[in-house]
Amino acid sequence: MNILVTGGAGFIGSNFIRYLLGKDPDCHVTNLDKLTYCGNLENLADIENMPNYRFVRGDVTEVKRVEEVIRDVDCVINFAAETHVDRSIMNASEFIMTDAYGTYVLLEAARKYKTKRFLQISTDEVYGSIPSGAANEEDRLNPSNPYSASKAGADLLARSYYITYDFPVIVLRPSNNFGQYQYPEKLIPLFITNALMDMSMPLYGDGKNVRDWLYVEDTCRAIDLVLRDGKIGEVYNISGGSKKTNIEIAEIILKELNKPKELIKFVRDRPGHDRRYSIDGAKLERLGFVKKFVFEDAMKKTIDWYRQNRQWWEKIKSGDFKNYYKKQYAR
Ligand code: NAD
Ligand code: TYD
């Protein structure tokens, strides 16, 4: 099977490529990535020389580039996106371009070259805040910020290609991921790396917002299952089944690293901050998905990885990231 992975130099995409090539040596993967601030070829250093892997630098909004790489593939898995809510609040334009328009470009090219399967990686954030219970795939989309609104646009557009053109689309909506190679602007890697540097952990608002945490390797297994057995035209939630408040996350990290609670610093809340994400993963379980990782063990693995791979994140944190961090936390 020839697969085009977009955004494969990012967090989930790089983990997915590693997982797929490790599991199925007959797969050929082309990774199309623009290498934005969070795209990093070091995430794939261990597989860059594999004969069935190819990296192409390119932007999913560029029709010519996309057509060049899509013409020979059987499947597309679209991870490429701007992904950080706080950055989308500062400036939404790249989010609309990549997440929404880029998905349109990919869908059109895939339709033209008759790609057999198109997996759109959406997010649980498209449902918006869920005060109680859990959103299922039929519930209405109610995004609250420019990131989730752009992702909701792409999600609906992808489905519309199935309904209108009978084009073989499947949409996946994973909950918050964590694990190795996650860019240290997101809650878990930010807090781990700050704590390792004895820097404060900036908790937004009262710290009681809830996220449903999913270990990245389980996400990879879920995507692989849907790639092979998922039903065309369907939407699948991927739930981590581990709901935690942000303050609970901070406390777990402090305890594991043996750092003082005084590192927690309450800061001004994020505008439009969704209180609680919660999705129902039963549909994917009916397809055969069983989560392999227990949250606590996966957190330990993740903390260990950041402890042992300082050079990976120190390089990031001492570069352009510093300017972003200053701007974001000086609010
Ligand atoms: P990430 O920010 O780590 O990586 C995104 C990748 O996309 C980077 O390699 C970047 O260079 C690339 N990219 C950005 N713009 C591009 C463009 N115009 N053309 C080509 N490549 C481009 O993101 P991630 O956390 O790995 O998320 C991957 C996907 O999963 C995204 O679609 C995201 O919305 C979705 N998702 C993420 C999470 C999560 O918790 N991380 C949860 C649910 C869904
Ligand atoms: P984040 O990792 O940005 O993911 P998302 O907003 O897409 O779910 O944030 C996860 C939660 O952590 C969210 O409730 C916002 C909160 N948060 C903080 O309290 N402090 C921070 O510095 C960051 C980045 C996030």
> What is the CATH T-level fold of the domain 2-178+215-238, as seen in this structure?
Rossmann fold (3.40.50)
What pLDDT digit, counting tens, does each position of 99-127 carry? Answer: 999 999 999 999 999 999 999 999 999 99
Domains of the chain, by residue range, sit at 2-178+215-238
CA 37 vs CA 25, 30, 82, 87: distances in Å: 30, 20, 10, 12
Question: Exposed, middle or buried by CB within 10 Å (0-12, 13-18, 19+), for 67?
Answer: middle
CB of 134 closer than 8 Å to CB of 117: no
Instruction: Please provide the DSSP assignment of 63-123 as one string.
Output: HHHHHHHHTT-SEEEE------HHHHHH--HHIIIIIIIHHHHHHHHHHHTT-SEEEEE--
Annotated catalytic residue 59 = no
What pLDDT digit, counting tens, does each position of 197-240 carry? Answer: 999 999 999 999 999 999 999 999 999 999 999 999 999 999 99
| Crossing angle (nearest 10°) for helices 102-112 and 146-165 | 20
Please check the confidence at residue 331 and state whether its pLDDT lies above 70: no
For the chain, the average pLDDT equals 97
Give the position of tokens 């490429």: 80
Read off the pLDDT of each residue in 184-206 and give the average, rounded to a whole number: 98
CA-based diameter of the chain, in Å?
57
The model's confidence at residue 330, banded by pLDDT at 50, 70 and 90, is confident
What pLDDT digit, counting tens, does each position of 233-281 carry? Answer: 999 999 999 999 999 999 999 999 999 999 999 999 999 999 999 999 9
Measured at the CA of 243, the angle between CA 247 and CA 201, to 5 degrees, comes to 25
What pLDDT digit, counting tens, does each position of 281-299 carry? Answer: 999 999 999 999 999 999 9
CB of 226 closer than 8 Å to CB of 277: no
CA of 249, closest atom in ligand 2: 12
Q: Tell me how far the alpha carbon of residue 187 lies from the centroid of ligand 2, in angstroms.
A: 5
Annotated catalytic residue 127 = no
CB of 12 closer than 8 Å to CB of 219: yes
Q: Where are the alpha helices (DSSP H) in the chain?
A: 11-23, 63-70, 85-90, 93-94, 102-112, 146-165, 187-196, 216-229, 246-257, 282-286, 295-308, 310-317, 321-329
Among the bound ligands, the one closest to the CA of 121:
1
Phi-psi region at 133: left, alpha or beta (left = phi > 0; alpha = psi -120 to 50): left
CB of 118 closer than 8 Å to CB of 78: yes
The span from the CA of 107 to the CA of 95, in Å, is 17
Ligand 2, from 246, 251, 302: best to mutate by most atoms within 8 Å of Cβ? 246
173 CB within 6 A, ligand 1? no
Ligand 1, from 4, 5, 11, 118: best to mutate by most atoms within 8 Å of Cβ? 11
User: Strand 242-245's sheet: what is its strand order?
Assistant: 177-178, 210-215, 242-245
Annotated catalytic residue 296 = no
Selected catalytic residue, list 33, 59, 82, 124: 124
User: Strand 169-174's sheet: what is its strand order?
Assistant: 53-57, 28-33, 2-6, 75-78, 117-121, 169-174, 235-238
Measured at the CA of 37, the angle between CA 310 and CA 198, to 5 degrees, comes to 35
% the chain with pLDDT above 90: 98
| DSSP code at position 52 | T
279 CB within 6 A, ligand 1? no
% the chain with pLDDT above 70: 100
Question: Exposed, middle or buried by CB within 10 Å (0-12, 13-18, 19+), for 16?
Answer: buried
Identify residue 175 by its one-letter amino acid code.
Answer: S
The model's confidence at residue 41, banded by pLDDT at 50, 70 and 90, is very high
Ligand 1, from 4, 42, 76, 79: best to mutate by most atoms within 8 Å of Cβ? 79
CA of 40, closest atom in ligand 1: 9
The model's confidence at residue 89, banded by pLDDT at 50, 70 and 90, is very high
Q: How far apart are the first and last CA of the chain?
A: 48
Question: Exposed, middle or buried by CB within 10 Å (0-12, 13-18, 19+), for 292?
Answer: exposed
